[in-house]
Each structure stands twice: as C-alpha cells, then as structure tokens.
Amino acid sequence: MADPNILSTAKPAFDVDRIRREFPVLSQTINGKPVVYLDNAATTQKPRRVSERVFRFDTEEYGTVRRGAYRLCERSTQLYEEARKKVAAFMGTPDSSEIIFTSGTTQSINLVAYSFGKRFIQPGDEVIISNIEHHANTVPWQVVCEDRKAVLKVIPVNDRGELILEEYDKLLSGKTRIVAVNHVSNALGTVNPVKEIVRKARAAGARVLIDGAQSTPHIKLDVKDLDCDFYTFSGHKMYGPSGIGGLYARKEMLEAMPPYVTGGDMIRQVTLEKTTYAPPPMKFEAGTPPISQVIGLGEAIDYLNEIGMDKIAEYEHSLLEYGTQLLENIEGLRIIGTAREKASILSFHLDAVHPHDVVTLLDQEGIAIRGGHHCAQPTMIRFNVPATARASVSFYNKYEELDLLADSIRKIIKMFS
C-alpha cells in the first residue's frame, strides 16, 4: 500500500476532475475497470473540443488551402495559417514562416537530415547525437552520414541517464556540422540541458536540432531563447490529431536548404526546363497538407494555453515526483533513468518479471503503460536491459492512479515469486 508519508506531500492546486471531464475516453472501463491511461509518451488522448473543432471544420468550413479564390478555400486557408501562427507563438517565434507542418517529429528530422545534409554536410564532417535518442533521431543521421561520408559521434550518458557534457565538449570541433539531441528522452525522461548544448555548439560553429517530441507537451518553450536552429514536435503527443506535427527552423536555414519533398504548392514557377521554389514555409510543404489535422492542432494549442504550460508543468512534476517515490519503495523494482531533471516518464525494470508480462498484467487491471525498447535500443543497451516498462503521466492523471499502479506492480511481483 502507499506510504502515508508520501500521500501527505504538498501538492499544487489543480482541478484534475474538471480536466478529466474533457476527455471522454478516460471515463470508460476496460475489463470492467476504469481506464488508467499512463502511456502519454507514446500518444496523448484528445480533449472533446479538439475532435469537435475538427468535426465542425470538416462539416462546415472545409476546403482546400492556397489553391482557389472561392469562399471555402479562402476561409480554409485563413484557418490553416492561423493555426500556424498559434504554433509559432506556442514555440516562441514571432515569425510563423519559420514553422513547417510535417506529419510529425520523424518526418521533421528526416527533412532536416536530408536537406541540411545535402547542402551543408561534406565528406569528413561530423554529426553529433546522444546515446539516449529515439530511433527517429538516430537512423536519419546514420543514413545521412553514410550518404555524405560523414562521421557520426555520440555523447555518452552517466548511470543516471544524464548526458556527460565534458565528453560532449571533447566531441565538438570545427568539423561538427550539426548536433541533434532530444529535449526530453522518451525512454528515460531525462530533461537535457539544451540551452547549454546549443551555446557550446554555436561556439564551435555547429547548428543544433532539438527533438522536442517529448518536451512540447510538458515544458514551456521558447525557441528564440534556446537559440537552436531546428526544433521538432508531434501533434498527437500534445493532445492534437495524429498525422500532424512540425518543425521550427531558423529562417536563414530554410532559405539555404533545398526542398525535401517536391511537387505542387512548393513552387514559384515551373517550366519544362526549370523550376523555382516558393519561399518558406511553402517550399517545404509540397502537396495538399493534412488540413483538418492542422486545425485540430491549433485547437489543442489553444487548450494547452488556456490551462497554462506553467501550471501543467508544475502539476505533472508533482505527479512524477509522487510516482517516483512510490516505485522507489517497491522491492525488486529498478527505475531506469534517474536524472536530476526529468519530465513525465517513469521507466522501470522488475528483477523477476519481463516488461511485456508486466504490461499484459497491468492491462488486466485497466492500466495502460508501454513495455518494450521504446524505439531507443541504444539506450536499452546502455542500461543493459532488453526492454523496460514505462509509465508516462499527463495533467489528466491523478495521484490515485499512481497508487493503483504501484499496488498492481506489487501484486505482479508477488504472483511471480
């Protein structure tokens, strides 16, 4: 059972019951038990208003964007560009042409790896990533390095799962073209010191991409203050639709980089001899975009702004601290990733039970968590585990749900002993 001393820990005021009423999925039952959704690092549930906004757009306002002079198209284009402005403001840039819509973080990183690589990475140059990246921020750089005959360098981590910055300093050199690291590790929850990472990279003359898939829903962003060149995010991890996400990129980079996908809408003029490209952001948005999803993303951002990212961060931090204390007290459980700065994620390994058995047995209690390598196999190798079980919290979670998680884990351990 939960330790009463933990239960008395001071908690920030946050009306979670009111929040939960916005998420119909959370009031369902699975196997006759209330849904306890703790897989927010994989994808977040949607508040009713996001789905309703998309429905209203699809049924009353829908038209293509940037391709016609009739009313529905004008209105649709206006809403689409308003959503881009919302994203820009949310990320901290006053210039919405620095926001490119993509299908999500994976595509955003592939875009940068391909386009930046083609223009700026030469044989013998170096790219730096870290040991705790998602495969989406690993494989594109392996591919581009192989293609450009460049060298991939990796920042190691300590046993807590924190980047070893002294080693990073040693990797940086005049050969470093770009540093690509996550803001928050999806496998461990480590919050990386991205501002310091950017400052050091700039001093060495290198560009920086921050994979923000896990940070965007949890941390108030300011890309201009961070001074990074690229910042990526996924809509479905921040209460918006799936299939939409984006990329913040410094204007000068977007102007210098060649397009990634070519076709309609990204051109200025096409003749059979030569094509000139549209200015950013359109240069990087070939084809009809996922219009409805963009509208939904804009609504999700309005929703997050109304609650307030500072309040969200404060409450989620309190949930994470509470969950950490609960799990730390379970004998036979090891938390993987104990960085001093963490967000949302509780990855763990049980001595006696494989993560997939943990996940299946928790599912029988209505609790949804992830088990596996989390698309971060180099991280698993570093921590010498084949996989972990991972609970990840959102502001719609309750302390009581973490109590249930901890109690259920205890039962599983007992069952396997």
Partner 1 sequence: MSYNNELYQQVILDHNRKPRNFRKVEDATHSCHGVNPLCGDDIVVYLKVDDRNIIQDISFEGSGCAISKASSSLMTTHLKGKNIDEARVCFHEFQKMVLGEMDPDKQEHHLGKLSLFMGVREYPSRAKCATLAWHTLTGALDRKAEGISTE
- The distance of closest approach from Cβ of residue 386 to partner 1 in the complex, given in angstroms and rounded to an integer, is 3
- The distance of closest approach from Cβ of residue 354 to partner 1 in the complex, given in angstroms and rounded to an integer, is 4
- The distance of closest approach from Cβ of residue 139 to partner 1 in the complex, given in angstroms and rounded to an integer, is 15
Of 290 and 372, the one with the shorter C-beta distance to partner 1 is 372
Of 327 and 380, the one with the shorter C-beta distance to partner 1 is 380
Residue 355 sits at φ, ψ, to 5 deg, of -50, -35
Q: How many CB atoms lie within 10 A of CB 317?
A: 16
| 302: its two tokens | 């309005």
Of 28 and 364, the one with the shorter C-beta distance to partner 1 is 364
| 415: its two tokens | 């069952």
- The distance of closest approach from Cβ of residue 383 to partner 1 in the complex, given in angstroms and rounded to an integer, is 13
Which amino acid, one-letter code, is at 49? Answer: R
- The distance of closest approach from Cβ of residue 347 to partner 1 in the complex, given in angstroms and rounded to an integer, is 14
- The distance of closest approach from Cβ of residue 110 to partner 1 in the complex, given in angstroms and rounded to an integer, is 22
Of 262 and 364, the one with the shorter C-beta distance to partner 1 is 364
Distance CA 376, CA 372 (A): 9
Of 283 and 349, the one with the shorter C-beta distance to partner 1 is 349
Distance CA 198, CA 208 (A): 6
Distance CA 22, CA 277 (A): 43
Binding site for partner 1 (CB under 8 A): 353-357, 360-361, 364-365, 371-373, 380, 386-387, 408, 411-412, 415-416
- The distance of closest approach from Cβ of residue 408 to partner 1 in the complex, given in angstroms and rounded to an integer, is 7
Of 172 and 380, the one with the shorter C-beta distance to partner 1 is 380
Q: Tell which residue, 178, 240, 251, has the closest CA to residue 213.
A: 240
Catalytic machinery residues: 375
Of 285 and 365, the one with the shorter C-beta distance to partner 1 is 365
Of 27 and 360, the one with the shorter C-beta distance to partner 1 is 360
- The distance of closest approach from Cβ of residue 357 to partner 1 in the complex, given in angstroms and rounded to an integer, is 5
